[in-house]
Structure 1
Amino acid sequence: MEAWDAFQAEGLTVDFVTPEGNAAPINVTEAGEFRSRLYDADLMYALGHTYTPSQIDPARYRAVYFVGGSNAIYGVPENTQLQNIAMHVYERNGGVVSAVCHGTAGLVNLKLSDGKYLIGGKRVSGYPEEFERQDAAYFKEFPFLIRKTVEARGGTFLTSARDKGYVVVDGRLVTGQNYLSAKQVAEAVVDLLRKSADQQAR
């Protein structure tokens, strides 16, 4: 929720979107510090009532943030409506596209209007397969591997120590290696939005 905090502190409105508009899953057993958020009525309502992609008018948005968690590798990368939203924000609105941890999976199929991959020729981070428990059942179910796919799309995949936050900013593309990078990614997005607003005000 560090990203939520960073966006809220900047006075930005945050809308949650999921492929089916379902309630976003919340796991409080592994992150005790999140339990106090259960009493944040606005946040809990937003997470419990996410938008479907068809409910989103991309012209209204300045940034897209693909959250992490291994579920992000399912249902998100192949969703063409989500792809269209992200690319509208990036190309037509001059906005920012960002992702953290497994959320980078949401970037791998994004294409520019010229047909080239957004991540082609860009520096990208995310949660690589070498950090996964490759002997675990969940890993064997993955439809693709993040590092391998980013590199196949022409991106340069960068990581740091697995227990450290790490963020890569390449133009208006911001990516983070793991959940420890969530706040840093959000802050980098905010910084880019500020600079864009300053340029437009001149």
Structure 2
Amino acid sequence: MQTLRTLATFVLLLLSVWLGGTCTTDAAPRTTVPAAMGQPASGQQDRILFIIASAKVHGTSTLPASVSFGEVVHAWDVFHAAGYAVDFVSPDGGAVPILDDYVSDDVAHRLDDARIMRGLRGTVTPAQIDPTQYRAVYYVGGSNAMYGVAESVALQRIAMQVYEGNGGVISAVCHGTAGIVNLQLAGGQYLVSGKRISGYPEEHERQDAPYFNQFPFLIRQTVVSRGGAFRTVESDDPHVEVDGRLVTGQNYASATPVAQAVVEALRIHTVQASNQAAAQP
């Protein structure tokens, strides 16, 4: 019996070498090789694109600015659980700033989560993105979200391809809403025009702090000037506005419900598209 087992193991090893892989007799689970840094992942899985600012300081100052790490983690968890893959893009590509003050205690341990940190340390540039591959975009907040994203024509094109070309969802949370204020439909109308929008309002900012004077624009004021209906609550409770395929959240606490609303909006759109296809003669 021992001889037979030894022979079987030897045969398996020979097959493994011949097939170019490895094989073990204890049926160890297979693992997939993660996407290389600096390249968006590939494959047939439905994808969502996180749009993150590259800025490390506020405007022209030396005041440090950062991504809101929790707004990445909480949304990533929802999308991952729903079966979506996530890619990360920023205006400049590469690592984005994550300051300790923007890492809450509930997510601090996720700084060791390679699945997320690989993306944040190696965001791709807009030129590396094929926007036809995405079902939704998610604009991440943090103090640096006020800089470099809203004015990026390349990011605007990606977002509008997802929204108009793919029939996908545009979403944003907290200061991430700054990234959508300049988006325009094919006909030239601002995306936020006539829409219910939320985001971090200027009246909740520390307006006497040096960073506030660096803001290139104010979120509420700009949304309203573009024809949007800006809605918020006075507390730090979650607040989400869903207007068709546009989903926005007010604050850090809104990251999870924003992501949940995106998943639901995508589900509804899929059902509607399926029903329309079935109704075709």
- TM bin (shorter chain): over 0.9
1:85 to 140, 158, 162: 158
Aligned mates of 1:95, 1:148 — CA distance in 2: 26
Aligned to 1:150: 223
The answer as to whether partners of 1:59 and 1:89 remain within 8 angstroms in 2 is: yes
The answer as to whether partners of 1:17 and 1:52 remain within 8 angstroms in 2 is: yes
Aligned mates of 2:195, 2:117 — CA distance in 1: 35
Question: Identity of aligned pairs, percent?
Answer: 61
Aligned to 1:182: 255
Unaligned stretches of 5+ residues in structure 2: 1-72, 276-281
SS of 2:87's equivalent? Answer: coil
Q: Is 1:20 matched with 2:92? A: yes
Aligned mates of 1:164, 1:35 — CA distance in 2: 21
Aligned mates of 2:176, 2:235 — CA distance in 1: 16
Tell me the TM-score normalised to structure 2 length.
0.70
Aligned to 1:39: 112
Equivalent runs, 1:1-20 vs 2, <5 Å: 1-20=73-92
Aligned to 1:73: 146
The answer as to whether partners of 1:125 and 1:158 remain within 8 angstroms in 2 is: yes
Q: Which moved more, 1:189-198 or 1:140-149?
A: 189-198
The answer as to whether partners of 1:102 and 1:127 remain within 8 angstroms in 2 is: yes
Aligned mates of 1:170, 1:50 — CA distance in 2: 29
One-letter code aligned to 2:248: T
Aligned mates of 1:42, 1:180 — CA distance in 2: 22
The Cα of 1:163 is off from its aligned counterpart by 1.1
Aligned to 2:5: none
One-letter code aligned to 1:4: W
Aligned to 1:110: 183
Q: Which moved more, 1:95-104 or 1:16-25?
A: 16-25
Q: Is 1:159 matched with 2:239? A: no
Unaligned stretches of 5+ residues in structure 1: none
The Cα of 1:182 is off from its aligned counterpart by 0.4
The answer as to whether partners of 1:108 and 1:149 remain within 8 angstroms in 2 is: yes
The Cα of 1:79 is off from its aligned counterpart by 0.2
Higher RCO (CA < 8 A, seq sep 6+): 1
Partner deviation per Cα, 1:13-64 (whole Å, 9 max, x = no partner): 1001100002122234451222211221121111111010110000000101
Q: Quick check: which has more Rg, 1 or 2? A: 2
Partner deviation per Cα, 1:154-200 (whole Å, 9 max, x = no partner): 00100012311100000100000001100000000000111122233
Partner deviation per Cα, 1:71-125 (whole Å, 9 max, x = no partner): 1110000000000000000001000001000001011100000001000011100
Aligned mates of 1:52, 1:6 — CA distance in 2: 24
Aligned to 1:195: 268
Aligned to 2:243: 170
Number of positions where the alignment pairs a residue of Structure 1 with one of Structure 2 = 202
Tell me the TM-score normalised to structure 1 length.
0.97
The answer as to whether partners of 1:28 and 1:34 remain within 8 angstroms in 2 is: no
The Cα of 1:68 is off from its aligned counterpart by 0.6
Aligned to 2:62: none
CA RMSD of aligned residues (A): 1.1
Aligned to 2:137: 64
